[in-house]
Structure 1
Amino acid sequence: MTVAAETGLWQLDHTASTVSLRHKTMWGLVTVTGSFKGLSGQGEVKPDGTAQGTVTLDAASLDTRHTKRDRHLSSADFFDADRHPEITFTVHSVEARSDDTAQITGQLTIRGISRPQSFTTRVARAGTDAVTLDAEFTVDREEFGMSWNQMGMMRGLTTVIASLRLTRRV
């Protein structure tokens, strides 16, 4: 992509985007997966190449295909969605690389707790009016106050998998 194609205001296409989680539980024997059904976002790439933006997830919209577990994940033990209905990633900088990847640096906010987060994204598809970015990174849930861990069943980091389609705003 050229800078001219990237420059401008961009809107997340929530119908063509996904953000999902993967975490080991039951002492590493079971992998729980789920996807957020409510997501939104926007961004801007300026003529000087700098970028900023935000992706927002509806914390209560996580669907693991297990209703009881989903309610528990929305509770104060985890996302505390009643008090903190949104999970937000704010992009502070984007460093484009020559191999269709970019280093994203920003701030992740969960349960009202913000932490710096950096990861590499890959340009999966690009055109003058739309771009799809794919990324996978890990998050330590305990850094965001999610320390519930009955009988030590939940270990390790949570993997976040995102495929975000952004379209040019007119």
Structure 2
Amino acid sequence: MTEHHHPAAATPSARLAPGTWDLHPAASRIAFRHRIVWGLVPVEGVFHEVSGAGEIRSDGSVTGLISIVAASLDTGNARRDGHLRSSDFLDTGAYPAITFAVHREDLPAPDGPAEVLGTLSVKGIGRPVPVAASVRRTAPDTVVLTGRATVTPASHRVRMPRALGFMRPTTEVEVDLTFVRDPVPG
């Protein structure tokens, strides 16, 4: 993404609590949009199977991993989905997971903008991808991260057929991820 958001300064009491935050798959969504035919026709889809967790450490650093079952993609067209799963595109037989490993030095403030920094791995190739996001606390131990990123499929060895050379070289990804904090053992 070319637009970067930086978290607003937050007081320690406004920060999210340290601990493990698990992704709630049923309340989360990862969608994509790629334009074809000179950018006039959008192909949109979602991934139905996603899992993950993040850790907020006591020093305020954040790490995490989001894992997507690549074969769970759904554009609403079974023939196209089969082709996208094939070795021509995502090769889900050889590379069953798409992952996003989060690495961030400082904790974003809840209820504000953030830039989530991480490495997106597709077909075994990891590339840095910033996600312009916002974090919204919906309950004391629940947050929703909403974000957008632009991904270049070719940088992950996802080839576009020559016959479709009029496809845009980038794919827009949108996420709405709900995280719930693990109870503190006690």
- How does the TM-score come out when normalised to structure 2? 0.85
CA contact (8 A) 2:110 2:137 kept: no
Aligned to 2:83, the other structure's residue is in SS state helix
Structure 1 position 42 matched with structure 2 position 53:
yes
Query: For residues 139 and 47 of structure 2, what CA distance do their matches in structure 1 show?
Result: 26
Paired residue for 1:136, among 132, 148, 152? Answer: 148
CA contact (8 A) 2:21 2:53 kept: yes
Paired residue for 1:73, among 75, 84, 94? Answer: 84
Structure 1 stretches of at least 4 aligned residues deviating more than 4 Å after TM superposition = none
Query: For residues 94 and 134 of structure 1, what CA distance do their matches in structure 2 show?
Result: 19
Percent identity, aligned pairs only?
A: 37
CA contact (8 A) 2:110 2:135 kept: no
Q: Report the counterpart of residue 113 of structure 1 in structure 2.
A: 125
Q: May I ask how many residue pairs the two structures share in their alignment?
A: 169
Q: Report the counterpart of residue 28 of structure 1 in structure 2.
A: 39
Aligned to 2:32, the other structure's residue is in SS state strand
Query: For residues 167 and 33 of structure 2, what CA distance do their matches in structure 1 show?
Result: 12
Query: For residues 47 and 61 of structure 1, what CA distance do their matches in structure 2 show?
Result: 35
Aligned to 1:142, the other structure's residue is in SS state helix
Greater share of strand: 1
Aligned to 2:79, the other structure's residue is in SS state helix
Aligned to 1:122, the other structure's residue is in SS state strand
- How does the TM-score come out when normalised to structure 1? 0.93
Q: Which blocks of at least 5 consecutive residues in structure 1 are unaligned? A: none
Q: Which blocks of at least 5 consecutive residues in structure 2 are unaligned? A: 1-12
Root-mean-square deviation (CA, aligned residues, Å) is 1.7
